[in-house]
Amino acid sequence: MAKTGMDRLNELKKEIFKCIHCKACRFAYSGEPSRKGIGEFKGKQGTVLYEGMVDSCPAGIEYGWEAFWNAGKIWIARSILSGDLEFTEEVRDVILPCITCGQCSAQCENKIPTVDIIESLRAACVESGVPLIDKHALVDGLVKERNNPYGGAADERFKWAKDAGLDKFVNNKDAKIAYYVGCTASYRQIEVAIATAKLFEQLGMNFTLIEDEVCCGSPFFRIGEVNTAQTLMKKNLEAFKNVKKVYFSCAGCYRTFTIDYPKWMAEGEKLPFKTQHAFELVAKLIQDKKIKFKPNAELKGKVVTYHDPCHTGRHFAIDMEQEMIKESKNLMFDSRKIKQKIDEWFEIPRIILKKLEEDVGIVFKEMYRIKLNSMCCGAGGGVRAGYPDFSLRTASLRCDEANAVGADILTTECPFCWRNLSDSNELYEHDLMVLGILQMITEYELLDILQKPTEADLLGK
Ligand code: SF4
Ligand code: SF4
């Protein structure tokens, strides 16, 4: 039987009652002690960025009231569980404008899985009969009818591949490896899909694009419409059941397959394939000295910064931390191992950027809030669809941080972050170029293959 939001909320009861309402989750450190501070930098919306502990919850920054910060939402979850509060449209309107970015979870010393709690709370709210907001109901209707939230036709999902001469990979029956493209890269940011597929082709990978692919369900897990999400999950599990490994170019789809699916699958069920983001493969091939990059006069000297997508960065880090805490017999002793594992995780995209600096001549410069403390792009959690102004204002705060370090190019590794940062860049005139890392590699023809990856390289992890 499918799990309900209320089941998940009850599973998380112990965590919810661990919250001491200290509100430390409202702040994050804007820099690192060993680095020069940001000084005072006035952003495009008049916000002054500075170093030190700063407000870091986009929902709290936007709405201000107690209930909108994370601590307020955890209190709502507690009141629902103890029967002191019932779900209403007012409660929905407080728990929905949150990007589920996980900044609060990263800051909490009690290690409370806040995103899991907020998503379960939303799912329980929907189950209680409170309707979705109109904008979410619209995308829910589209995905039920067309298997994607953009309303694109099913037979146009891989039109980009056919137009780019990559059609031999569509339903390539011999392949053990699949590339799950996702809806945003299939119907909107086709540059990301083309760049990733071309990179795989250059590497000599035998991969398949599976035409029965449907939306991963991420927006619906996030907004609490878990029935829709689980229906999509089942369709994808069926479509991808014959491959050994699935690669992703979207942070949200990768997180959904890897972290959400196992949580919502029946007890004892496991993913039938391995999952990995394409940037992990590229970083590994750099470390194994199988690829390098060609110099490029156009990119030489350009200041490039990197935005950690919440879904690949913080969400994976928090999930790893939660798993290690569960297994730990001595947390004091193991906390160093946890920190090391998280540091290694955040280093992966930076391996590529540092190699681009060495070989291509870009100047890689970090923003002041990075890794676990990274500020969200504003797109996730159903916020871009449901609360577009809030979403774009949050993206603008992130673009301010790129401006503050003098970046010419803002890179990321998620088509959804790319879209929001790009739209905000235009709207608020941040004067940045927004690019995916893999997109930069493919579009500027930077890849220099020293040795083709082996089957073990491609199927490992
Ligand atoms: S979630 Fe953690 S940091 Fe936030 S108020 Fe609760 S205990 Fe404090
Ligand atoms: S997930 Fe992000 S937006 Fe939501 S409460 Fe936590 S810090 Fe705020």
Tell me: the pLDDT tens digits for 205-238? 999 999 999 999 999 999 999 999 999 999 999 9
95 touches ligand 2 (CB under 6 Å): no
Residue with tokens 């799990």: 3
SS3 of 337, please? helix
pLDDT, position 265:
87
In the chain, % of residues over pLDDT 90: 84
Q: What's the CA gap between 186 and 371, in Å, rounded?
A: 28
In a domain, 349, yes or no: yes
Residue 114 CA: nearest ligand 1 atom is 1
CATH number of the domain to which 57 belongs: 1.10.1060
Pairing mode, strands 27-29 and 53-55 = antiparallel
Tell me the per-residue pLDDT of 285-294, one tens digit each, with 9 for 90 and over.
999 999 999 9
Span 279-287, mean pLDDT?
Answer: 97
| Average pLDDT of the segment spanning 420-429 | 97
Identify which ligand lies nearest to the alpha carbon of 100: 2
Considering the domain boundaries, does residue 302 fall inside one?
Answer: yes
Residue 23 Cβ inside 6 Å of ligand 1? The answer reads yes
- The answer to whether the beta carbons of residues 45 and 393 sit under 8 Å apart is yes
Query: Are 231 and 320 members of one domain?
Result: no
Please give the pLDDT value at position 35.
54
Residue that terminates a domain, selected from 64, 93, 127: 127
Q: Over the Cα atoms of the chain, what is R_g?
A: 21
- Determine if ligand 2 sits within 6 Å of the CB of residue 103: yes
Instruction: Give the Cα separation of 107 and 54 in Å (integer).
Output: 12
CB 71 within 8 A of CB 19: yes
Amino acid occupying residue 182: G
Determine the average pLDDT of the residues in 35-56: 71
Neighbours of 20 (CB within 10 A): 13
What's the start-to-end Cα distance of the chain, in Å? 31
Say yes or no to pLDDT of 23 above 80: yes
Report percent pLDDT > 70 for the chain: 96
- What are 86's two structure tokens? 């019932």
Q: Is the pLDDT of residue 33 over 70?
A: no
Say yes or no: 186 and 278 in one domain.
yes
**CATH number of the domain that residue 316 is part of:** 3.40.50.1860
The verdict on the CB of residue 100 being under 6 Å from ligand 2 is: yes
> What is the per-residue pLDDT for 41?
76
Distance 381 CA to ligand 2 centre (A): 9
Q: Please check whether residues 431 and 338 belong to one and the same domain.
A: yes
CA 368 – ligand 1 centroid, Å: 23
Same domain, yes or no: 85 and 181:
no
Whether pLDDT at 332 is above 90: no
Spatial CA neighbour of 282 closest among 453, 459, 455, 164: 453
Domain boundary residue, one of 127, 162, 187: 127
Alpha helices (runs of H) in 266-313, residue ranges in sequence order: 278-287
Quick check: 345 and 320 in contact, CB under 8 A? Answer: yes
CA 114 to chain CA centroid, nearest Å: 16
Residues 277 and 305 in one domain: no
Q: Of the candidates 200, 192, 258, which has an alpha carbon nearest to the alpha carbon of residue 413?
A: 192
Residue tagged 């774009």 (tokens)? 392
Task: Please state the atom number of ligand 2 nearest to the C-alpha of residue 70.
Answer: 5
Classify residue 355 as left (phi > 0), alpha (psi -120 to 50) or beta. Answer: alpha
pLDDT average, residue stretch 57-78: 95
Q: Which ligand is nearest to the CA of 382?
A: 2
Does the pLDDT at position 432 exceed 70? yes
Structure tokens at 334: 């193991």
Domain hosting 159: range is 150-288
Nearest ligand, CA 107: 1
Give residue 52 CA to ligand 1 midpoint distance, Å. Answer: 19
Is a pLDDT exceeding 80 seen at residue 263? yes
Asked if pLDDT for residue 375 goes beyond 80, the answer is yes
Which of these ranges, 3-12, 67-76, 89-98, 309-318, has the smallest mean pLDDT? 3-12
Question: Which one of 288, 322, 349 terminates a domain?
Answer: 288
Domain presence at residue 145: no
Q: Measured from the CB, is residue 19 less than 6 Å from ligand 1?
A: yes
pLDDT band of residue 326 (cuts 50, 70, 90) is: confident
- Are residue 170 and residue 245 in the same domain, yes or no? yes
Q: What are phi and psi of 97, to 5 degrees?
A: -80, 70
* pLDDT recorded at residue 335: 85
What is the predicted pLDDT for the residue at 461?
A: 76
> 79 pLDDT exceeds 90?
yes
Evaluated on CA atoms 297, 283, 311, 317, the torsion sign reads negative
The answer to whether residue 301 scores a pLDDT higher than 90 is yes
**How many domains, the chain?**
3
> Residue for token digits 């039987």?
1
The pair of structure tokens assigned to 236 is 């994808």
User: Which stretches of 298-447 are DSSP H helices?
Assistant: 314-327, 331-360, 383-386, 388-404, 415-427, 437-443
| 119-175 pLDDT per residue, tens | 999 999 999 999 999 999 999 999 999 999 999 999 999 999 999 999 999 999 999
Are the C-beta atoms of 112 and 402 separated by less than 8 Å? Answer: no
Task: Say how far apart CA 379 and CA 388 lie, in whole Å.
Answer: 8
Would residue 21 be called left, alpha or beta, if left means φ above 0 and alpha means ψ between -120 and 50 degrees? Answer: left
171 and 210 co-located in one domain: yes
Residues 162 and 284 in one domain: yes
Residue 389 CA to residue 378 CA, distance in Å, equals 10
Does the Cβ of 380 fall within 6 Å of ligand 2?
Answer: no
pLDDT tens, residue by residue, 436-446 = 999 999 999 99
pLDDT at residue 242 tops 80: yes
Our CA dihedral for 431, 434, 440, 442, rounded to 10 degrees, sits at: -120
Same domain, 284 and 263: yes
Same domain, 317 and 416: yes
Given this model, what pLDDT does residue 212 score? 95
> What band does 44 get if pLDDT is binned at 50, 70 and 90?
confident
Residue 120 lies in a domain: yes
Instruction: Examine the pLDDT at 419 and tell me if it is beyond 90.
Output: yes
Q: How high does pLDDT run on average in the chain? A: 93
Q: Model confidence at 325, in pLDDT bands (50, 70, 90)?
A: confident
pLDDT tens per residue across span 379-390: 999 999 999 999
Q: Are 226 and 241 members of one domain?
A: yes
CATH number at residue 275: 3.40.50
Closest to 106 in 3D by CA, of 377, 371, 383: 371
Q: How far is the CA of 93 from the centre of ligand 1 (A)?
A: 21
pTM: 0.93
**Is residue 327 very low, low, confident or very high in pLDDT (cuts 50, 70, 90)?**
confident
Q: Is residue 330 in some structural domain?
A: yes
Structural domain contains residue 144: no
Same domain, 321 and 206: no
The answer to whether 157 and 213 are in contact (CB under 8 A) is yes
Indicate whether 102 belongs to any domain: yes
Joined together, the tokens standing for residue 44 give 């495009």
Residue 222 lies in a domain: yes
Structure-token pair, residue 241: 């059941």
